[in-house]
Structures are given as structure tokens and as C-alpha cells.
Structure 1
Amino acid sequence: MTLRWLVRRAGGAVLVLWAVATIVFIAIRLIPGDPAQAILGGPGSQASAAAVEHVRVEYGLNRPLIVQYAVFLGRLATGQLGDSYTFHTSVASLLAVELPVTLTLAVAGLAAAWVLALIAAWWSTQRGRVARAISGGIEITASVAPHFWLGSVLIVLFATGLGWLPAVSDGTAAGWVLPVITVAVPVAGYLAQTIRDGIIDAESTAFAVAARARGESRFGLFARHTLRHGALPGIALSAWAFGSLVSGAVVVEAVFALPGIGRALVTAVEQRDMPLVTGIALVSALAYVVVLAAADLVERAVDPRLRSAT
């Protein structure tokens, strides 16, 4: 790890967070309706004109848009996320309660996706063309399965039909199984295809031929040689996969009644709750940046060539 790498990562993180904050600022204001009315509870609140004007002045909505943007960025730069219009409490306190649920779901889903992908890659590359064809069909189907459909099928099968697992989150470890599988399966499909293709390419290289000539077993060749090369593209995809898991959590948390940021985000967007939308978007982007850096470090550990290239 070099100072140049750290500076580049830190600079990239700042640019990503600035871009996300700017997009949220613009998007919220493009939603039809009056932001002051939204703060007061929406058109159904029947707020008076005086109350609406008071809110405009209090929140700076009467200022030019460029001034509002500058104040918005200034507050974010000092860590002030503000208070939620909808839940009438600080955004930081809401995130402290709900963010761990979503991150747990995403991290556990990524780990489960890698386990499933490695099993599929081993089976498809070691059991012949038939196994490869079957595995390829399963992987494609898994990668395009919508979260809400997959979650519903798992509930019908394992909760309603067999009664093995709870249909919704009940605070126990068993209540996490179906949500984790739901977010993991589509990602596992992509990862398995990528890893399998990398392993197949590695099997035809000179080092693999030499290992087989030395009497290396099939499992030894897979575990010590080809898996490392095949896993590199999958590691590079892990940051994207984590982002996909976080976005999928919005649906999965609703299906399984998990109290994470996904459900809060839906409510915040509907109510034009800009502080909460901004807070959720920023912590999600920050988590993505951290995972991207972690994936880069893992790639460097697996492939020494990357360490010497920077």
C-alpha cells in the first residue's frame, strides 16, 4: 500500500460523496410539489399560508437555489445531516438504528453469494460439459431473478409449505436466512459465471499444464492455482455486487419486514424528506467506497503484480 494509493482513494471518496449529494439535492427538487408543504406533512396537513411561509424562511427555501445548495454542502461538510421531516428526529439517530440492519443484510448476502458461487464454479469446472451446461442455466436464471419474486417463492416454500423458517424477521438467526438467500442468489449467479470463465481460461495456461505434469490432483490444481486467477474478476465485481445488495435491500426489507434503511428510504422519498434521503444516500455511497477499497486490497493480496504496479 502506498501513500499515492491512499490519497487517490480518499480523493475519489470525496468526489463520489459530492456527486451523490448533488444528485440528491437536484432530484428532490425536481419532484412535483412544494418542499415547505412536505415539511409540514404534505397537502393533507391543511397548513396556513403563514405557516408555509414561516417554514420557507426557517429552512432557507426562500433563498436562491445556488445559495441553498451552498448551505446544503456546507452543513454536510461539517457532518450536520439535520432532522428528518417525516420522523421528527435526527437523521444520525435514525441511521444508527436502521443502518446496521441493512449493512448486516448486505455483508451476509455478499458472503453467501461467494460461497454459492465457489460451489457452482467447482462443480461446473470439474464435472464435465453436462455439469457446466446445467450450472450455466442455473446461474443465468439466478442472476435475473427479481428480489420480490425470489423472496415470495422462498417464503411459500420454506415458511408456508415446509415450516422450516419464519416468513418475516423475528429477531432470531433463523429470521435472517431467507432475506440473506434472497439478496445473495442473483449476485451468486453473476459471480459464478465470472469465476467459472476465469478458471477455464487459467486451466489452459502454461502454469496449469506444468502443475498437472507434476502430478497435481484436480482439487489441488483448482485450490492452489486456477481458483486464484479465476477469482480475480469476481473480486473486482464484489464492490458492484455490494452496491446491488444494498439496492436490493430496499425490496427485501419490505418483503421480510426488516427494519432497515430500505423501508425508511421509500417513506423519505414519498414525503420529500431531503435530510433523510441525503443521509441514506451518503452512507450507502460511503459503504460502497469502503467495499471498493477493500476489494482492491484483496486483489493486491491475491495478485502480487498489482502491488508492484503502483
Structure 2
Amino acid sequence: MTEVSSGLTRRSRTASGSQPYSGVSGLLRMLAVRIASALFVLWGTITVTFIVLSVLPGDRATILLNITSGQVIERTPQELAPINALYGFDQPIGEQYLRYFWQLLHGNFGLSFELQRPVAHVIVEQLVPTFTLAISSLLLAWIIAIPWTLLTAGRGRRLSAFGSAVETIMAGLPQYWIGILLLIVFAIGLRWFPVVGGSSLTGIVLPAVTLAIPLAGFIGHSLRDEFERSMQEPFVLSARARGMSLRSVRLLHVLRHALIPAITLSGWAIGNLLSGAVLVEAVFARPGLGNVLVNAVSNKDFALVSGIVVLISFLYIIINLLVDVIYLIVDPRLRGRS
């Protein structure tokens, strides 16, 4: 955790100390580089996903026939031939990849073997609960991290050390263990929340807290490092000399500088939350992509697995691009100068 937050802090310092892009053209050039990098990462994800699913054991035509018929039996070549021709399984691997890639470019994720429905329809139905859980967890993590940082950072060595220790413990807690503990205490014991999460407002509280606690530890640690460094900057003394109270300086000036590395961390956090939702949705029996993905992997539903993986990767890349834009808004030193 320390290495992650330290690396983000160094990134913010390097960016603030480097020569900014000049004018609108420089800003557009920077965005073009980021977009090109994002597209390259997305292409790599699609390619790796295709390769991994292609080399997994098990004949896809046999699996499809077994799922359709409900019988796990050996299939004859005569039975498999029409399925292989229909889905292109009998084509060379290069042609299969080009067909797969071309379909993705047109928004065609294929047909789910198990559900016999377009993968895009299945994903759209389950995306909202998962994304709602991820965003709720991220907001809750920030709500926990910011007050904790303001309360303990820059207020003496002992209090700061205590705050840092709590953040380290929070960041190291396994999400699966947190979920089971919250379920036992608050759902089964106190009965404040439903045992089965569902899609209700009360049903999302415990899953969101489960994901938010470790993330709040990471964000808090990143905030603390930059917050305490910013407290030593000359602008703090200047603001105090103008008669501004210490509370106002901490809240209006120091916190703004401390947010920069934590915002960058939030871009990484979305991908982590989407993957963590797989476990949390299983623990709380919530609808979402997590349960669908687990079932698809168990049933070797290759089209559905690849569709979910590609979509999550795409969302992760888009969110990180948005974080880069917010990064420029929060830190004026990184904006282009006309």
C-alpha cells in the first residue's frame, strides 16, 4: 500500500514540476496520446482474452451441444460439424480472431451458449447493479477518508501515526472477510439490513461498506502523504499571514493539493471495485455481473466471459481517461498556458 501511494505522490510531484503543455494544441496533443494509449491497452485486453479462451480445455461445439440438450455426453463428428461451421470454430485461429475482433468493433459480443441470448442484452441487464455498487463504494470510501485525514493528518506525530496505522489495517482487510463479518453482525444478528442484498437501497449498504473500507485505507494513506507534505509548503505560511485560520487553510488549500494523488488512485480503484464486486455479490447474493461471470466461467460460456471481461476493461479505460481530465482541473499547474 505504501508503495502505491508513494508512487502516486511522486507522479503528482513530477507532473507539477515538469514543463506544462503550452496552449490548446499542447493539451489536445496530450489527450491524443492518452487516448492512443488507452486504445492500445484495450486492443491488448481483447487479444489476450481471445487467446486465453481459445486455449482453454474443452471443445466449444461439444460444450454448446451439451448445454443446449442438458446432457453431458460424447459427441460424434457429424453432430459437431454443423455447430463448428455455424460459429466458425473450424476456421484457422487467425480468421477466428479477426472475426471476433470485427464483431466487437460493431458491438456484437456474440450469443451466450448457456442462456441462448445475445451477450450484450445479458450484460446490459446486470451492468447497472454492479456499476451502482462500485460507484457507491467509491463515494463512501471518500466520505470515510477525507474526514479521517483532516482529523488526524498534520496534528502531531502520535496522532498522525495512529491515523496511518488505522489506514494500513483498513487497507489490508480482505473484502470477503469483511462481507461475512458485516453479514453476521448487522444482517443476521442485529437484523438492521437484509441477509440477501437484492437491489433495494438497504440491500446495497453492507456490500458498499464491504468494498469501501479497504479502499478508504488506500485513499486515506495517499491523502495523508500529500497532505502532510503540503502543510510544509510556503503557501500555508502566506495564508496564515493574511489572517486565514488554520482550519480554513487545511480545508481550502492543503486538502486541494492532497486530493491530486488520491484522485489518480480512484481511477485504479474503479477497476478494483468492479473485480471485487464478484466476491461481494456472491456473499450478499446480489444481482450483477459478478454472479453472471462466475456462472459463465463454471459453464465455460466463452462468449459471455469474453463480453464481460472486455466491457469491464473498456469501462476501466474510459474512467481513467476521465480521471486524467479531472487531474488537470484540480491542479492548475498542469493546465496549458496560452
TM-score strictly above 0.5: yes
Q: For 2:52 and 2:337, how far apart are their aligned partners in 1?
A: 40
Kept in 1, the 8 Å contact 2:62–2:75? The answer is: no
With over 3 angstroms needed to count, the CA separation of the structure-2 counterparts of 1:227 and 1:18, relative to structure 1, is same
Kept in 1, the 8 Å contact 2:236–2:249? The answer is: yes
CA drift at 1:40: 2.1
Is residue 142 of structure 2 the alignment partner of residue 114 of structure 1? yes
Q: For 1:34 and 1:5, how far apart are their aligned partners in 2?
A: 46
Tell me the C-alpha RMSD between the 2 structures: 1.9
Is residue 45 of structure 2 the alignment partner of residue 20 of structure 1? yes
CA drift at 1:12: 2.9
313, 334, 338: which one pairs with 1:285? 313
Identity of aligned residues (%): 36
Residue of structure 1 in register with 2:235 after alignment: 207
Is residue 92 of structure 2 the alignment partner of residue 46 of structure 1? no
Amino acid at match of 1:13: A
Secondary structure of the residue that 2:335 maps to in structure 1?
helix
CA drift at 1:20: 1.2
Residue of structure 2 in register with 1:237 after alignment: 265
Residue of structure 1 in register with 2:14 after alignment: none
With over 3 angstroms needed to count, the CA separation of the structure-2 counterparts of 1:91 and 1:103, relative to structure 1, is same
CA distances 1:231-256 after superposition (whole Å, capped 9, x unpaired): 10001111101111011001001111
* Matched ranges for 1:1-310 at <5 A: 2-41=27-66, 45-46=72-73, 48-49=75-76, 50-125=78-153, 127-308=155-336
CA drift at 1:169: 1.4
Q: For 1:148 and 1:92, how far apart are their aligned partners in 2?
A: 29
Secondary structure of the residue that 1:40 maps to in structure 2?
helix
CA drift at 1:30: 2.5
Greater than 4 Å deviation, 4+ residue runs = none
CA drift at 1:309: 7.1
Q: For 1:41 and 1:29, how far apart are their aligned partners in 2?
A: 18
Q: For 2:55 and 2:145, how far apart are their aligned partners in 1?
A: 41
With over 3 angstroms needed to count, the CA separation of the structure-2 counterparts of 1:76 and 1:304, relative to structure 1, is same
Q: For 2:39 and 2:63, how far apart are their aligned partners in 1?
A: 30
Q: For 2:337 and 2:63, how far apart are their aligned partners in 1?
A: 52
Q: For 2:44 and 2:34, how far apart are their aligned partners in 1?
A: 15
Structure 2: gaps of 5 or more residues: 1-23
Q: For 2:48 and 2:98, how far apart are their aligned partners in 1?
A: 14
Q: How many residues align?
A: 310
Q: For 2:228 and 2:66, how far apart are their aligned partners in 1?
A: 58
Q: TM-score, structure 1 length as denominator?
A: 0.94
CA drift at 1:137: 1.9
Amino acid at match of 1:155: L
CA drift at 1:6: 4.2
Structure 1: gaps of 5 or more residues: none
- Structure 1 range deviating more: 267-276 or 79-88: 267-276
Q: TM-score, structure 2 length as denominator?
A: 0.86
CA drift at 1:174: 0.8
